[in-house]
Amino acid sequence: MGDQTARMVDLPGDVLFASGQTQMAADGKAIVDQLFGDPDSGVLSFDQGGLAQRKLVIHGHTDDVGAKDANFQLGYQRAYAVYQEIRKHGKEVPDHVILCTHADNTPAQAVPAPSDRAAADEARRKNRRITIEDLVVATKPGETKPGETKPGETKPGETKPGETKPGDAKPGDAKPGDAKPGDAKPGDAKPGDAAGKSGEPAGKPGPPTPEAPGSR
Return the pLDDT at 158: 67
Distance CA 191, CA 194 (A): 9
Cα 14 from Cα 28, distance rounded (Å): 9
Which pLDDT belongs to residue 182?
Answer: 61
Per-residue b/e over 67-99, b at no fewer than 16 CB within 10 Å? eeeebbebbbbbbebbbebbeebbeebeeebeb
> What pLDDT, on a 0 to 100 scale, did the predictor assign at position 74?
96
pTM for this predicted structure: 0.63
Residue 104: count other Cβ atoms within 10 Å of its Cβ. 20
Q: At a CB cut-off of 8 Å and minimum separation 6, what does 185 contact? A: 179
Please report the pLDDT score of residue 51 as a whole number. Answer: 81
Let me know if 166 is exposed, middle or buried by CB neighbors in 10 A (0-12, 13-18, 19+): exposed
Alpha-carbon gap, residue 6 to 133, rounded angstroms: 6
Residues of the chain with pLDDT under 70: 1-3, 141-216
CATH match for 4-138 among 3.30.1330.60, 3.40.50.450, 3.40.47.10, 3.20.20.70: 3.30.1330.60
Percent of the chain at pLDDT above 70? 63
For the segment 177-214, what is each residue's pLDDT rounded down to a tens digit?
Answer: 665 666 655 665 555 554 444 444 545 555 555 555 55
Strands (E), the chain: 4-12, 52-61, 97-103, 129-138
pLDDT the model gives residue 208: 55
Q: With beta carbons less than 8 A apart as the criterion, state whether 28 and 143 touch.
A: no
CA-closest candidate to residue 57, choices 97, 84, 92: 97
